[in-house]
Amino acid sequence: METFIAKIDNTTIDASPLFVDLEDAKGELLKKFNREHKTHFSYLDESAYGYNIQAVLNRFSGNYFSASFLKSYQTNPAGALYSMFVEEEPNSAAQIGTTVHSILEEFYKLPKNEREKDKLLDLVTKLTKDSQNEEKINQYIQGYLDTPDYLTGQEFDHKNLECLCEYKGRSKIYIPKLDLSLPMCSFVIDRIDFRDNDIYIIDYKTGKVNSDNLTFEGNLSQMILYKWLIEQKFKQEVRDVYLCAPGNQAYMKVECSLENQKILAENINKFFTKFKSDNQTRVYTYTDEGYFTSPQMTEFREIMNDNSVRFAKIPVKVYIGEEK
């Protein structure tokens, strides 16, 4: 489906035409589906033709939340919207990170007595076959093996670790101590460790990792959100949260103090106030910040920064799917 957003000036877009077309297309698809199946659905589910349309409408309904969306929207609202219609081209760093995550997930799925160094290296060979990044991935896995235990400072005992890997879910959140309610949140947590009746959250980070990752500009919001989700899910307080940086051979403790939780709660309330206001007008602010790593995002940036272009129609293509 082809539609557009309107550039008003270098710092503003009007997405009203886009959302009108999305709602119209959704209505037509639902009308056809309900007529054929004699149903009365008011939304397109994940298996339905046209679900991409529903996904955009859901994301900008005010009934969805994630730490990454909070960060991208606060950085560049217009960019956060436009990026939903752009397919990012995989780069080397992303491929390395994804492969390292997959290797460690498969490793901890093994029976405990099989979690040997040789088994981990076999997984590296298996999952990096024909990869141009094999050498770099090997370095990260070796760095992971050399990373001391975050509790003891000694060699990590992988064989006796009780954990969940790639823990996925969707949940609403209520944090009583902050009187904060959040709509549906989707999450994927790299690892949850259960040690001595305590719970620890581990998030793997490849690439450049430093103290900036421990701030709100980095991964602090994401990790506090994970803490809230797991505490609600398991009815138990999370003891500590760590970023595991195999490139640094270190576990970096994330400061999820009550003070930082209050700051995040305040940031979230400010976000929803602005987000709901923007969604009323469908006018979104553009800033020259964020990720512009694909040709489409680069072109979008050039148009928005071009002082000679005003009131431009910027094309948007929405992939609907293969009709069954």
In the prediction, which pLDDT does 322 show?
65
Q: CATH fold of 92-256, please?
A: Lambda Exonuclease; Chain A (3.90.320)
Please work out, in degrees rounded to the nearest 5, the angle formed at the alpha carbon of residue 241 by the alpha carbons of 153 and 77: 140
Consecutive H or E run containing 193: strand 180-195
Q: Which amino acid is at 45?
A: D
Give the pLDDT of residue 65: 87
pLDDT of residue 289: 92
Strand runs (DSSP E) across 255-299, as ranges? Answer: 283-285
Tokens (6 digits) for 27: 């209505």
- Helical spans, DSSP H, in the chain: 16-37, 51-59, 67-75, 77-82, 92-109, 117-127, 134-145, 220-234, 258-281, 295-305
Task: Report the alpha-carbon distance of residue 103 to residue 272 in Å, rounded.
Answer: 37
- The ranges assigned to domains in the chain are 2-87+282-317, 92-256
SS3 per-residue string spanning 90-104: CCHHHHHHHHHHHHH
d(CA 106, CA 123): 8
| Sign, Cα dihedral of 277, 280, 283, 284 | positive
Q: Per residue in 128-170, pLDDT tens?
A: 987 889 999 999 999 999 999 999 999 999 999 999 999 998 8
Contact criterion met (CB below 8 Å) for 140 and 224: no
- Which has the closest alpha carbon to 84: 73, 95, 92? 73
pTM above 0.85, yes or no: yes
Instruction: Give every CB contact of residue 27 below 8 A, 6+ residues apart in sequence.
Output: none
Which tens digit of pLDDT belongs to each residue from 273-296?
Answer: 999 999 999 999 999 998 888 899
Strand partners, 174: 181
Residue 141's CB: how many other CB atoms inside 10 A? 22
3-state class of 106 per DSSP?
helix
Alpha carbons within 13 A on the beta-carbon side of 307: 0
- DSSP letters for 37-57: HT---SS--TTSTTHHHHHHH
Number of alpha carbons in the 13 Å side-chain half-sphere of residue 124: 21
- CB atoms under 10 Å from CB of 289, counted, come to 11
Q: Which residues of the chain have pLDDT under 70?
A: 90, 322-324
Phi, psi for residue 154 in degrees, rounded to 5: -100, -175
